[in-house]
Amino acid sequence: MTNEELVNAVCPILNDNGWKYYFTPNAIEVGKSMGLKGMEFYVAGRGGSLGDCEGGVVAAAFGYFNPVIINAAWSLATAKQPARVIGDAHYEVAAHLGREKLTNMPGLNEFTAAMEKVFNAADPDGLALFAAFKSMPLAEDTPARAMQLAASLREFRGSAHLIAIRAVGLTSKQAHYVKRPNDVKGFGWGEDDAPLVDDAVRALMVEAEKLTDALCIPAYSVLNDAERKALVDGAKAFETALK
């Protein structure tokens, strides 16, 4: 399996499933216990490891969202609780989902070990949100650790993607309207915000995706053949376990 094939097989699954702890019943319960509404806990939880900063910094690290939405939720949340406290609680919600859903997952140990090897090899330079996630301690138990690693590797590609978008000359708003046009309202964009999306923009988005893969490949290339198989097979089992 080539590096490109490995990234193409695994990254979409991590992207589609690494966020699934965001709005679980446990997430809602923990957020409420901290006096935080759903969007407040999501924004300040996901961005909490960035520490005491302005909401605009968090919006830049997230990309895709209307910065006004992120700044508002961040400001409300961090007025109630310290950012890092919220971030730690949110990461523990990921651990909780892992314990709930992944304990009996086939190949869990091998999948987790392969993810951790990629995680350790991933260079955080220039990848603000991934660097923040990488600064947090991982859970000791394997199911919890697996979910946290999946969430962190999702942020690895996501942070690399923001660099790739800018490198080809697009904004994250343009990228969002190309890649996820049905979700723009949920990310705070209105009809008047729609950017120009034509064939040239779509072509640049294809280039951005290729560059994103290229930025991620060095980290995934450290795996040997057995570890690659464990990662691919594990990703499929991970997706099934979270359904």
Q: What's the domain count of the chain?
A: 1
What confidence tens digit (pLDDT) does each residue in 16-50 have? 999 999 999 999 999 999 999 999 999 999 999 99
- Per-residue confidence (pLDDT) for residue 192, from 0 to 100: 81
- Per-residue confidence (pLDDT) for residue 182, from 0 to 100: 82
* Closest by Cα among 107, 113, 109 to 223: 113
Q: Could you say which residues of the chain have pLDDT below 50?
A: none
- Per-residue confidence (pLDDT) for residue 186, from 0 to 100: 82
Q: Mark out the alpha helices in 108-194 (DSSP H runs).
A: 108-121, 128-134, 142-167, 172-179
- Tell me how crowded residue 138 is: count the other CB atoms within 10 A of its CB: 17
- Full-model pTM: 0.95
DSSP state string for 182-202: GGTGGGT--GGGPPP--HHHH
Quote the domain boundaries for residue 99.
3-242
- Per-residue confidence (pLDDT) for residue 9, from 0 to 100: 97
Structure tokens at 161: 């993607």
The end-to-end CA distance of the chain, in Å, is 27
Structure tokens at 99: 């314990």
SS3 236: helix
